[in-house]
Chains A and B, each alone.
Chain A
Amino acid sequence: MSEKQIDEISGVSTTGHEWDGIKELDNPMPRWWLIVYYATVVWAAAYVIAYPAWPLISKATTGLLGYSSRGEVRQELDAAQAAKADYVAGIRDKTVAQILADEKLRTFATAAGAAAFKVNCVQCHGSGAQGSPGYPNLNDDEWLWGGKPEDIHKTIAHGVRFAEDADTRVSEMPAFGGMLEPKQITDVATYVASLSGRAGDATPAVLSAGKEIFAQNCAACHGADGKGNRELGAPNLTDAIWFYGSSPEAIAQQIRAPKHGVMPAWSARLGDVTVKELAVYVHSLGGGE
């Protein structure tokens, strides 16, 4: 643009650009617009200095304020940890029974245990801890290894039949498929079902035969009355709760070739505080002793 062109009507100079005889006026920017524009320039410059801005090869410039979003998250997590430090220390120093007796600790541990349960336990025991065939229901009052706070704690900490843990709970029912005749197995299964009133129309002859076989082969672990033995992890056969099914057929199958579940030991993986929290939560589900 060589010389200044003035629009006749408005007296304002034009930019020199022309479209079909219409020229664009070169009015000055509004003052407020300029002020805002300069303010954004100043802001941008200050931002580049104060905050992480320029990308480098492996990281970015850090900025004078040393801000990072990761650092902010870390701070918030630290603050959250600090906020519950007293509770965590209390749980570390006390036994599960003592935690249960302390209302505040119990409330905290129950909530923390519920969260840990959702992550680590629901895969087998179900989201409501209601279990499924082969995986015990933790809401009820039947406990293979004991339902007292310390019993539950030990089971969670060391697992069941978990080879890597020296203190793990171990029990193994022999497979009677090779030791007893098929008839003997169905007889004893019918007798066992009768202990909880499930034998149907079994004849007295079958029941007395089954009772005899039970006394010879089963009473050692399950007790003469069939009420089980928690020391050995032997289940109570007289109650309403059945791990692998309550029909005489299901019982016979378990006598012939028993299934044995495995529960991992959690203390090494989750730490003692979380295991205690889990024990408190499981105990509070309603079946705790």
Chain B
Amino acid sequence: MREASEVETFDATAVNSARVRQPLYAARKKIFPKRAEGRFRRFKWIVMLITLGVYYLTPWIRWNRGAFAPDQGVLVDLANRRFYFFPIEIWPQEFYFVAGLLIMAGFGLFLLTSTVGRAWCGYTCPQTVWVDLFLVVERAIEGERNARIKLDAAPWSANKLFRRIAKHAIWLLIAVLTGGAWIFYFADAPTLARELATGQAAPVAYMTIAILTGTTYVFGGLMREQVCTYMCPWPRIQAAMLDENSLTVTYNDWRGEPRSRHAKKAAAAGQVIGDCVDCNACVAVCPMGIDIRDGQQLECITCALCIDACDNVMDKIGKERGLISYATLAEYESNRLLATAGGAAAIDPRRVRDASGRLSDKVATFHLKKLLRPRNLIYFAAWSTVGLGLIYALLTRERLQVNVLADRNPQYVVLSDGAIRNGFTVKLLNMIPEPRTFTVTLENLPDADMNVVGMDHPAGRSFSVEVEPDKLKTLKVFVRQPHDSIAGPKQSIRFVVQDTASHESAQYDATFESPMEPVR
């Protein structure tokens, strides 16, 4: 028998001991972003004003298109299959314009990301804009960061209940207005607003509002940064677009470290100190709840509010702005090498400063010229090629089209005098919102003539027809050719359509079929 103390003990701790074990599901930790002040915050207010203004007001802009088309500037008329964008009207077969715009949006995002990083996420993404808007409401009702933290921790009281109800009610109101604004793009806005108010609108309108209200409220009010971190695929894709020359929000540890809260005392004690005073202002303003001083990270949407917060602190303590700044990875690495003497030692900010205490000339800074690199130029070239192509297509597109379908059964009919008749379905597209008169003329086959079912006129080589504004007219046309002028089983035939007023014209080449053997 041995004493317990004689038993060999191991220096081991359980990797998964109950003490350190993480729960399988971690509840969201609430974030209470402090309001930042500064140039990026001002820029974000302006962007928010513009984006929200565009979204809410666009359907209410009127645009006169005459008596035969809606007078709404931007309208997606699903029932009549038309898309109106100010002077441009798009038919379903012209959807390639929309596809082209989407391709441009794609290239635009690539270009934006490779130059200024995740600027889309930080400034213009609807998720960012609406979360910002919801935070304005939260701040107005519950107060600034500290007051909100206190209120959240406080037990339920009449005051807390009132503030919570008020906040969620206003959020819901914004959500309803957001969902409501969406449907105005799909119908005449004033009419739809009246119908909505009186309960006359289509059920799908109310359904759409309800769904978008739900998503706006849940994403913007409740889920916030989780949408960006967990749900959105775009941050992952953007990671592939960034390179060492893309601008991102960067904590410049080469001048900030070692951080110290008691700079004077530390300096007096002869310690090396950086510019960071560890005030956590950058952490307090972050809507994503991260510490930018940990370096580049997936959660960072580069909203640059930490730059504003830090710049204010630097101003106060008399240091240069830009401890946190937009910088490329290449600049950062070069400055870091400078501060660590080529990576040989710990960061010593004295290495990046000259004798007078200013940042030395060796510190790399950003120049606009750096944007002119092949990657950006290629993205820009692709983007503008698609754009110019679309403009060219728009300027040269036809507003009068003709389609001709030859009868397939029977392909031809032998008439009693031996002549051959072919039937054609002719479709005339008047693609402008005005009534127009077209003349349809037959070219080739000089001896042939045509007549139209339902139109009372003698057979001839040309006829006029009126087509309603913005409509398609289908005509059944019979073309007859005497047997002695038939030159073979397949002869080409051309229908030419011309606007009698503007002389705009279109044509269609078809085939006139005859039997292999002559009839007589």
Q: Are B421 and A128 in contact (CB under 8 A)?
A: no
B417: interface (CB < 8 Å): yes
**Given A130-B409, A284-B476, A286-B423, is A141 in contact with B415 using a C-beta cutoff of 8 Å?**
yes
How far apart are the CA atoms of A114 and B49 in the complex, in Å? 59
Is B413's CB under 8 angstroms from A130's CB? yes
A239, CB-defined interface residue at 8 Å: yes
Given A137-B410, A240-B414, A240-B417, 16 additional A-B pairs, CB 8 A: A127-B409, A128-B407, A129-B410, A140-B415, A140-B416, A142-B415, A236-B416, A239-B416, A239-B418, A240-B416, A240-B483, A240-B519, A240-B520, A241-B415, A286-B423, A287-B415
**CB atoms of B414 and A241 under 8 A apart:** yes
Q: Which 4 A-B pairs have the closest CB atoms?
A: A128-B409, A239-B416, A240-B418, A130-B410
What per-residue 1/0 map shows which CB atoms of B480-520 lie under 8 Å from chain A? Answer: 00010000000000000000000000000000000000011
- B17 to nearest A CB, angstroms? 14
A137 touches B413 (CB 8 A): yes
Pick 7 A–B contacts, CB within 8 A, sort by A: A128-B410, A130-B413, A139-B413, A140-B416, A198-B520, A239-B417, A286-B423
Query: Restricting to A97-131, which residues have a CB under 8 Å from any CB of B?
Result: 100, 103, 106, 126-130
Given contact pairs A106-B454, A284-B453, A286-B478, A196 touches B413 in the complex (Cβ within 8 A): no
Provide the residues of chain A in CB contact with B415, threshold 8 Å: 140-142, 240-241, 287
- Interface size class for chain A? 20 to 34
Q: Which of A211-242 contact B (CB under 8 A)?
A: 236, 239-241
Chain A 130-161 near chain B by CB (<8 Å), digits 1 or 0 = 10000001011110000000000000000000
CB proximity of B120 to chain A, nearest CB, Å: 36
Contact across chains for A141 and B478 when beta carbons are under 8 A apart: no
Task: Tell me the chain A residues, 234-289 only, with Cβ under 8 Å from chain B.
Answer: 236, 239-241, 284, 286-287
A127 to B415, CA, bound (A): 19
* Given the contacts A196-B520, A286-B478, A140 and B409 also touching, CB distance less than 8 Å: no
B residues 167-193 in Cβ contact with A at 8 Å: none
Query: Chain A 144-186 against B: per-residue CB contact (8 Å), 1 yes, 0 no?
Result: 0000000000000000000000000000000000000000000
Return A20 CB to nearest CB of chain B, in Å: 24
Minimum CB–CB distance for A176 against chain B, Å: 25
Chain B residues near A128 (CB-CB < 8 A): 407-410
Interface residues on B, range: 10 to 19
Residues of B within 8 A of A140 (CB): 413-416, 421
Most buried by B among A126, A142, A241: A241
A125 CA / B354 CA spacing, docked (Å): 102
Q: Which residues of A contact B418 (CB under 8 A)?
A: 239-240
Contacting residues, chain A, for B413 (C-beta < 8 A): 130, 137, 139-140, 286-287
CA distance A197 to B418 in the complex (A): 11
Chain B 33-71 near chain A by CB (<8 Å), digits 1 or 0 = 000000000000000000000000000000000000000
CB < 8 Å: which of B407, B454, B520 contacts A197?
Answer: B520
- Chain B residues with CB under 8 Å of A126's CB are 409
Closest beta carbon of chain A to B478's beta carbon, Å? 5
CA–CA, A140 to B417, complex, Å? 10
Q: How far is the CA of A106 from the CA of B483 in the complex (A)?
A: 31
Report A283 CB to chain B, min CB distance, Å.
9
Contact call B416/A141, Cβ cutoff below 8 A: yes
Cα distance, A243 to B407, chains bound together (Å): 23
Contacts of B454 in A (CB 8 A): 100, 103, 106, 284
CA distance A232 to B410 in the complex (A): 29
Residues of chain B within 8 A of A130, CB atoms compared = 409-410, 413
B512 to chain A minimum Cβ distance, whole angstroms, is 15
How far apart are the CA atoms of A106 and B423 in the complex, in Å? 18
Q: Note all chain B residues with C-beta closer than 8 A to A284.
A: 453-454, 476
In the bound complex, residues from chain A placing their C-beta under 8 Å from that of B414 are 137, 140, 240-241
Taking CB atoms, residues of chain B closer than 8 Å to A287 are 413, 415
Give the docked Cα–Cα distance between A198 and B410 (Å). Answer: 25
Cα of A106 to Cα of B416 in the assembled complex, Å: 26
Closest residue on chain A to residue B414 by CB atoms: A240
Chain B residues whose CB sits within 8 angstroms of the CB of A106 once the complex forms: 454
Minimum CB–CB distance from B288 to chain A (whole Å) comes to: 29
**Which one of B407, B416, B453, B476 contacts A241 once the chains associate, using CB atoms below 8 Å?**
B416
Would you give the shortest CB distance from B467 to chain A, in whole angstroms?
14
A20 to B151, CA, bound (A): 53
Complex CA gap A139/B454 in Å reads 16
Q: Separation in Å of the A196 CB from the closest CB of chain B? A: 7
